[in-house]
Amino acid sequence: MTTELNTDFFSVQALPSGIAHLRLNRPQRMNTMTPAFFPALRDAVQSLDADGATRVLLLSSEGKHFSAGMALDVFAGAGDLAALLATGDARQRLAFQDHLRRLMRCFDALEQARFPVVAAIQGACVGGALDLAAACDLRVASADAFFAVQEIHIGMAADLGVLQRLPKIVPPGIAREMAFTGERLGAERALAAGLVNAVRPDAEAALAHAMQLAEAIAAKSPLAVAGSKRAINYAIDHPTAEALDQMTLLQSAIFDLGEMGRAIEAWKAKSVGRFEPLAPLKSV
């Protein structure tokens, strides 16, 4: 495994199989986030997507907790952050909206990437960390993991996507309960609600299971996987008839008999298929 990138918040490593592993690496601060975290994450994900070689992104963290979300001192509004958080007049409120939307788009990058994102979660996944996890495609939890919409405890509504994504993942009543009370959702209840795909005894086992999922995905045609992710994301927000119309156009773009032949051959042989990476995305 070769380290490709190190930031103040995480490292990114690449595997020959096409799996990229992004690991939050501030355990001494419970992997909390500051405003600088968001563009760093966005840029890393978009860079992996643009390169085309990544088939799956595995997201995990070091330490006892996945992440405690946004660092509380951010809300003190000191220094340069005062301008970002100010809402005293119309111009400040308009700027606040623009700043907030830019932060939201950083997590959108996970949803919009051509590859699936698998999160391995241990301990606390609260506040902005739950916004992050909700933007992933699959989630695996350790038995001690818990999830909370922490923002309600500090007098604000969560605003980085969890209130929009969570009701599409779990029953709306559970999403409302979490949003209104801030109470923790433990790993087993999260599994029953569909927030996580599996629960494993500890962080190491959760990461191992997440890696197994990533390896299973990476062994498939990246073209078919990217198309499937795009179809599912569209179907979540559109009526079935519109999603079927979208699927006809999407399938006509990605249908490839050569790719299918390689996939069928690998499936029959119970081996890993040899597929070309997705085309790189050129900057504009």
The pLDDT, as a whole number, for residue 80 is 55
CA–CA distance, 199 with 180 (Å, rounded to integer): 25
The pLDDT, as a whole number, for residue 132 is 98
How many angstroms separate the most distant Cα atoms in the chain? 66
pLDDT category of residue 4 using cuts at 50, 70 and 90:
confident
- The answer for residues whose C-beta is within 8 angstroms of residue 264's C-beta and 6 or more apart is none
Q: What is the mean pLDDT of the chain?
A: 94
**pLDDT more than 90, % of the chain:** 89
CA distances from 50 to 44, 46, 58, 88, 231 (A): 10, 6, 17, 40, 20
Per residue in 170-204, pLDDT (tens digit) is: 999 999 999 999 999 999 999 999 999 999 999 99
Taking the CA atoms of residue 186, residue 129, residue 24 and residue 228 in that order, the dihedral angle to the nearest 10 degrees is 90
Question: By mean pLDDT, which of 130-139, 229-238, 271-280 is the weakest?
Answer: 271-280
Mean pLDDT over 43-53 rounds to: 97
- Torsion sign over Cα 125, 170, 44, 38: negative
Structure tokens given for 193? 């609600």
Can you tell me which residue has the tokens 């096409």? 18
CATH 3.90.226.10 fits 2-218, yes or no: yes
Structure tokens given for 3? 């380290």
CA–CA distance, 151 with 237 (Å, rounded to integer): 25
CA distances from 110 to 179, 195, 198, 200 (A): 22, 17, 20, 24
Per residue in 111-165, pLDDT (tens digit) is: 999 999 999 999 999 999 999 999 999 999 999 999 999 999 999 999 999 999 9
CA–CA distance, 5 with 87 (Å, rounded to integer): 36
Is 50 exceeded by the pLDDT of residue 224? Answer: yes
Q: Spell out the alpha helix ranges (H) of the chain.
A: 37-51, 81-85, 90-112, 128-134, 162-165, 172-181, 187-193, 203-218, 222-236, 240-254, 257-269
CA–CA distance, 178 with 158 (Å, rounded to integer): 11
The pLDDT, as a whole number, for residue 86 is 84
pLDDT category of residue 90 using cuts at 50, 70 and 90:
very high
CA atoms within 13 A on the CB side of 92: 9
Mean pLDDT over 47-66 rounds to: 97
CA–CA distance, 92 with 82 (Å, rounded to integer): 10
Domain ranges of the chain: 2-218, 222-269
The pLDDT, as a whole number, for residue 1 is 46
Instruction: Transcribe 67-84 into DSSP letters.
Output: B--B-GGGGG--TTHHHH
CA–CA distance, 179 with 260 (Å, rounded to integer): 44
Mean pLDDT over 242-259 rounds to: 97
CB 224 within 8 A of CB 63: no
* Element (DSSP H or E) covering residue 125: strand 124-126
